[in-house]
Structure 1
Amino acid sequence: MFVLLSIFMTLPAVLLSGSDAPNSQAFIISAAVVFGMGLCGMLGTYHKERDLKPRYMFVLTVTSWLFISLVSALPFYLSDNDINWATALFESTSGITTTGATALSGLDFMDRDLLLWRSILQWVGGIGIIGMFVAVLPFLRVGGMRLFATESSEWTDKALPRMKTLSRGLLLVYLVFSTVAVLTYWASGMSLFDAFNHGLTSIATGGFSTSDSSMGKFDSDLILVEASIFMALGGMPFFLFVREMHGQRGVLWRDQQVRAFVGILLFVPLVLTCYRWLMTDDFDLLSGYVSTLFNVTSVVTTTGYASEDYSAWGSLAFVVFFYLMFIGGCSGSTSGGMKVFRFQLSLILLREQLMRLLHPRAVLSRKYNGRVVSDEIIASMVAYTFIFFLSLMVITVILAGLELEFPVALTGALAALTNVGPGLGNVIGPSGNFATLPDAAKLVLSAGMLMGRLEILSVVVVLSPAFWRS
């Protein structure tokens, strides 16, 4: 992973030149350091047996994301932009976890090589997240992907050929979507540089932009509609795209979480548009709907783009967007959040409990996507939900202890854990950023972003004393 990351680190210096790449030396030094670390690791373990026990995979998953976040901060820290180590780590963690929260300001005038590195980090993080959800987390019994029965749920010699086929398909779909996004944005009026950056971060549902105004810079309904489509694609299960590609027609739409996800993206913007129309004089219905659709899609898919300050649309909109921050996309996508399927399982569990109260002796079947949902999956969902809200409470308290106002502390913690990016309000909302927060708060939020990206339970397991005692 370090060797591959070092190759990506050279891209800003290779793709840009002259005044567009003033920090080439910082990227080359960073790439050399990371390549050296990876090479030493490969040489030191070349003849070692690779025993993929769950215990080792837990440690590998957590530490790899942690160390990649650390070394990815090197180009920011070594650049000529006077970025301190806490801000550099916050930016790299936000990038690799596709959170999209930024602690940098003046993006319109920032060095292009740093802007490109931010987008590359999110694109790399996006494909890494898909691979983790489809291959690693089912093996660790974390994340809920066992509900969707991919061929990568077990790490055995028999499963490896299927996993390789799936991995190639996932990479192909990801590359095709990214290429189409770049070309579409370019054809719609963006410069090639802006199109390339936004194409990468749209499919990765990352949300890093080349402007402080985010997508509001382009002032185009067409671009907002295109971005909404690409974000929605990034929020869907990529393994289902691969199955469609291999001839299983209609499997995407038959998935319950996809139908619910699309329903949310269609219904909520319609309601909020009607609300804005009633509350605003001279409201342009078409442009208003496009703007609402774009911003709702951005929050639900945890992308973090903004075309305007949606937290100022009124009290109802503020509350709706706060709740939307919890949802996230589908399992197996690049999106963060709690994921749609957990809300669906909660409704199934609620219905079952109500039926048991009415018919105590009834024999009830608990099914999702036509498959029986085991008690183990329900227990995992309940445990995740509990630890999610406990983590949200703890991080909010810590941020409040650092003298952050309650709305900033709460929505900042939520934005980090769900990997949404911006919070709500004037400070860290869609019209602000995290630059004014103290370094300690940036470090706490960086930890929150990693926890949210790794489904929290993976981190809790590794940090538990019982894990190390045996």
Structure 2
Amino acid sequence: MALIAPQDHERPGLSLGGLELVPVLFVLGVLVSALGLSMLAPALLDFVVHDHDWLGFLQAAGLTLFSGLMLVASNWRRPIRLNLKQGFLLTCLSWVVLGLFGSLPFIFATTSLDLGDAVFESISGLTTTGSTVIHDLDHMPPGILFWRALQQWVGGIGIIGMAIALLPVLRVGGMQLFRMESSDTSERGLTRIGELGLSISVIYLVITVAVALGYMLGGMTMFDAICHAFTTVSTGGFSNWDTSMGTMGPGVLWIAVLGMILGAMPFLLFVQAARGRPEVLFKDSQVRTFLTFLVGCWLFVGTWLWLTSDKSFPAAITAAAFNITSVVTTTGFASEDYTLWGDFAVMFFFLITFAGGCTGSTSGAIKTFRYQIAYKVMRAHVRRRYLPHSIILSTYRGNPIDEDVAASVVLFFFATGATTAFIALGLTLLGLDWVTALSGAATAVGNVGPGLGPLIGPSGNFAILPDSAKWLLALGMLLGRLEFFTLLVLFSRDFWRR
């Protein structure tokens, strides 16, 4: 959504403090209406297979669509324009409100989840976190399984759009470094943003179809292949089975590895490659760093696993590559319980929970470019200690790293650590052990999925946690997905003043 200051001649409408809400509520209504329409797909699926869950989806769709259309009708006005503050508010409201409405199918359908569990599952899906509270997935009606996957797929494309079009304008977490012509808010800029959005959507769909075909060739049914392609490319990690990918052969696991890597790559580069510049994929420093780190981890842990277990070298490399890629890209699939590999594996997987993929992708966590910026800033700072009279300029992609970007990145690291610590402390106050609390907080803030330990580890489930813990973790998921400051700024008193 473009951010354009309203013109002086526009009629004022509903406002809160000094912030006009009409355009925000109108766009929010459009999004809620679209969500309601999307609920008809799993309803139709259950109707075709004669499962009575179609009625629950129909109820949820009707309530959601009615609410969305009411917002649209009551706030209709042309032209619809958003300024910077309205952009902040719309971004936050969209994830929260869509997450709440997305929980309705879980309440009305067979799962019959209570409000806390339903909201947790919905927020986890929309933010592509992948933590689940649903048991016995192997016997769930197809509508619920498809809805979980569809939520993650839609959330994934929303994450890409937010990272490319909105966060650079909002100057969140160093993302202003990626502000480009596509962030132009002139009429010509709007056209370019629309074209870019269409190109990214087409590429997102093409990659999803390719991964689904790969899964089908690997032996999955068409339904399972489509659902898992949705949750692979979106780096979401919801699976149709309680064992996640535990029953899949090495061929399917390597297809998943490729799909997760593609989902964690900058989609802007895919657009440039599709327009005749494929070399950009290999020249980009962020991509090279991300892939080098990933392959290095595969070889290191795979070799260690081969030497310390009864696995063959190919099996050890496959297990390491799949599970490490799943955690680094914040997907959350698992082929086995890697916490049983030993204390070293537990610590290693906890640390890479904070890694993340590339900016402009569907992945969560800190992301590669922030580590690059932090390293360059730290190196320049150290050099100034022993070369105080030298002019030392740090650059990224050939552009100088100004103090605003450096400060944003440092603050993002602080926000990640502080939020994880506070949520972990809150979880321990609710009675959880420190491994569950710390890994649960990290996986929620990083939008990763499984935590560590017997309760919420790769073979565990979040249903066993108290409702208060689930609400706290859902807040952590939203904070992590909204890059912290996008949501926290709404709690500033000055934000609501003229």
Superposition TM-score, scaled by structure 2 size? 0.92
Figure out how many residues of one structure are paired with residues of the other and give that number: 468
Residue 372 of structure 1 aligns to which amino acid in structure 2?
Answer: P
Residue 23 (structure 1) aligned to one of 37, 43, 53: 53
Counterpart CA distance in 2 for 1:346 and 1:143 is 12
Q: Is the 8 A contact 1:13 1:21 kept in 2?
A: no
Residue 476 of structure 2 aligns to which amino acid in structure 1?
Answer: G
Q: Is the 8 A contact 2:111 2:134 kept in 1?
A: no
Deviations 1:104-140 (A, max 9, x none): 1111111221111000000000011111111111111
Summarize the alignment of residues 51-62 of structure 1 with structure 2, pairs less than 5 Å apart.
Answer: 51-62=81-92
Deviations 1:142-162 (A, max 9, x none): 143432344322322231111
2:377 aligned residue: 349
Residue 289 of structure 1 aligns to which amino acid in structure 2?
Answer: I
Residue 138 (structure 2) pairs with residue 108 (structure 1) = yes
Counterpart CA distance in 2 for 1:64 and 1:140 is 16
Q: Is the 8 A contact 1:211 1:217 kept in 2?
A: no
Residue 262 of structure 1 aligns to which amino acid in structure 2?
Answer: L
Q: Which runs of 5+ in 1 are unaligned?
A: none
Summarize the alignment of residues 121-136 of structure 1 with structure 2, pairs less than 5 Å apart.
Answer: 121-136=151-166
The runs of at least 4 aligned residues of structure 1 exceeding 4 Å deviation read: none
1:387 aligned residue: 415
SS in 2 for 1:426: helix
Q: Is the 8 A contact 2:170 2:176 kept in 1?
A: no
Q: Is the 8 A contact 2:46 2:52 kept in 1?
A: no
Q: Which moved more, 1:107-116 or 1:9-18?
A: 9-18
Deviations 1:180-210 (A, max 9, x none): 1111101110111111110110000000000
Residue 349 (structure 2) pairs with residue 321 (structure 1) = yes
How far the C-alpha of 1:469 sits from its partner, in A, is: 4.0
2:205 aligned residue: 175
Counterpart CA distance in 1 for 2:182 and 2:165 is 5
Residue 181 (structure 2) aligned to one of 140, 147, 151: 151
Q: Give percent identity, aligned residues only.
A: 41
Q: Is the 8 A contact 1:20 1:111 kept in 2?
A: no
Q: Is the 8 A contact 1:144 1:331 kept in 2?
A: no
Residue 122 (structure 2) aligned to one of 82, 89, 92: 92
Q: Is the 8 A contact 2:46 2:53 kept in 1?
A: no
Residue 277 (structure 2) pairs with residue 244 (structure 1) = no
Counterpart CA distance in 1 for 2:294 and 2:169 is 31
2:260 aligned residue: 231
Residue 96 (structure 2) pairs with residue 66 (structure 1) = yes
1:277 aligned residue: 306
How far the C-alpha of 1:18 sits from its partner, in A, is: 4.6
Counterpart CA distance in 2 for 1:141 and 1:21 is 47
Deviations 1:427-468 (A, max 9, x none): 101010101001111111111101100001111111222322
Deviations 1:67-112 (A, max 9, x none): 0000000000111333111000000000000000001111111122
Counterpart CA distance in 2 for 1:69 and 1:416 is 15
Counterpart CA distance in 2 for 1:141 and 1:154 is 14
Q: Which moved more, 1:186-195 or 1:116-125?
A: 186-195
Q: What is the aligned-residue RMSD (CA, Å)?
A: 1.3
SS in 2 for 1:308: coil
1:418 aligned residue: 446
Q: Is the 8 A contact 1:22 1:113 kept in 2?
A: no
1:289 aligned residue: 317
Counterpart CA distance in 1 for 2:77 and 2:280 is 43
2:472 aligned residue: 444
2:286 aligned residue: 257
How far the C-alpha of 1:20 sits from its partner, in A, is: 5.8
Q: Which moved more, 1:392-401 or 1:139-148?
A: 139-148
Q: Is the 8 A contact 2:212 2:229 kept in 1?
A: yes
Deviations 1:341-378 (A, max 9, x none): 11111110111011101100111111011111111111
Residue 192 (structure 2) pairs with residue 197 (structure 1) = no
Q: Which runs of 5+ in 2 are unaligned?
A: 1-30
How far the C-alpha of 1:249 sits from its partner, in A, is: 3.0
Superposition TM-score, scaled by structure 1 size? 0.97
Q: Which moved more, 1:228-237 or 1:43-52?
A: 43-52
Deviations 1:41-76 (A, max 9, x none): 111122255332111110110011100000000000
Q: Is the 8 A contact 2:130 2:238 kept in 1?
A: yes
How far the C-alpha of 1:226 sits from its partner, in A, is: 0.4
Deviations 1:304-354 (A, max 9, x none): 000000111112211111110001110100000011111111110111011
Counterpart CA distance in 2 for 1:48 and 1:382 is 41
Q: Is the 8 A contact 1:205 1:303 kept in 2?
A: yes
1:207 aligned residue: 237
